[in-house]
Chain A
Amino acid sequence: MNSLLFYFFSILAIASAILMVTRRNIVHGAVFLITTLLATAGIFLQLQAEFLFVVQIILYVGGIMVLFVFVIMLVNLDVSLHLVQFNRMKFVSTILAVVLAGHLFAAFWITRNSLNLGPRGEAMMQPRNTESVGQALFQNYMLPFEIASILLLVAMIGAVVMAKRKV
Chain B
Amino acid sequence: MNHVIPPSIQAYVLPVLYGVVVVALLPLLAGYIVLLERKVMADMQARLGPMRVGPHGLLQPIADALKLLIKEDIVPEKADRFLFWCAPVLSVTMALLAYAAIPFGPVFQIADLNVGLLFILAISSLGIYGIVLGGWASNSHYSLLGALRSAAQLVSYETAAGLALVSGLMLAGSLSMKDIVQAQYDQGVWFVFVVPVGFFIYLVGSIAETNRAPFDLPEAESELVAGYMTEYSGFRWALYFLGEYANMVVVAAIATTLFLGGWLRPFARYQDHLFGTSIELLDLLPTILFLAAAAYCFWLAPRQPVQIQKIVMALVGGLCLVLAAGMTGALFAPDAVRLGIHGAFWFLAKVFAYIYAFLWIRFTFPRYRFDQLMRLGWRFLIPLALVNVIVVGTTIVLQQNWEWRHPMLSAIVTTAIMLGVAAFLAREGSAPSEPAEVGEGN
Contacts and interface: CB of A to CB of B under 8 A. Distances in A.
A50 to B, nearest CB: 5
Interface string B109-128: 00001110011011101101
A51 B132 contact: no
A127 interface: yes
A66 B125 CA distance: 9
A62 B94 CA distance: 12
Interface string B343-374: 00000000000000000000000000000000
Given A31-B133, A73-B136, A66 B122 contact: no
A128 B115 CA distance: 8
Given A70-B148, A73-B147, A130-B175, A50 B128 contact: no
Contact of B155 (A31, A61, A67): A67
Contacts of A127: 114
Contact of B126 (A25, A51, A61, A73): A61
Contacts of A67: 151, 155
Size range of the interface on A? Answer: 20 to 34
A63 interface: yes
B132 A73 contact: yes
A58 interface: yes
B155 A50 contact: no
A27 interface: yes
Interface residues of B, number: 26
Interface string A47-61: 000110111011001
Contact of A62 (B147, B158, B175): B158
Interface string A28-43: 1001001000000000
A54 B119 CA distance: 6
B292 interface: no
A31 B121 CA distance: 20
Interface in A54-110: 54-55, 57-58, 61-63, 66-67, 69-70, 73-74
Contacts, number: 73
B114 to A, nearest CB: 5
Contacts of A63: 125, 155, 158
Contact of A34 (B80, B113, B129): B129
Interface in B128-180: 128-129, 132-133, 136, 144, 147-148, 151-152, 154-155, 158, 175
A62 B136 contact: no
B151 A70 contact: yes
Contacts of B128: 62, 66
A54 B115 contact: yes
Interface of A is mostly: helix
A66 B154 contact: yes
Contacts of B122: 54, 57-58, 61-62
B376 interface: no
B387 interface: no
Interface string B16-41: 00000000000000000000000000
Given A58-B125, A62-B158, A50 B151 contact: no
Nearest to A69: B132
B115 A130 contact: yes
Given A63-B155, A66-B155, A73-B132, A50 B148 contact: no
Given A58-B125, A130-B115, A66 B132 contact: yes
Which of B118, B119, B152 is packed against the most chain A CB atoms within 10 Å? B118
Nearest to A165: B440
A27 B144 CA distance: 13
A57 B158 CA distance: 14
B158 to A, nearest CB: 7
Contacts of B155: 63, 66-67, 70
B118 A54 contact: yes
A28 B136 CA distance: 11
List of 10 A-B pairs having minimum Cβ-Cβ separation, nearest first: A62-B125, A57-B122, A54-B118, A70-B151, A50-B115, A58-B122, A54-B122, A54-B115, A128-B114, A66-B151
Interface of B: 80, 83, 113-115, 118-119, 121-123, 125-126, 128-129, 132-133, 136, 144, 147-148, 151-152, 154-155, 158, 175
8 contacts: A50-B113, A51-B115, A54-B115, A62-B122, A67-B151, A69-B129, A69-B133, A130-B175
Interface of A: 25, 27-28, 31, 34, 50-51, 53-55, 57-58, 61-63, 66-67, 69-70, 73-74, 127-128, 130
Given A51-B115, A58-B122, A69-B136, 15 more contacts: A25-B80, A28-B83, A54-B115, A54-B119, A54-B121, A54-B122, A57-B126, A61-B126, A62-B125, A66-B132, A66-B151, A69-B151, A70-B132, A130-B115, A130-B175
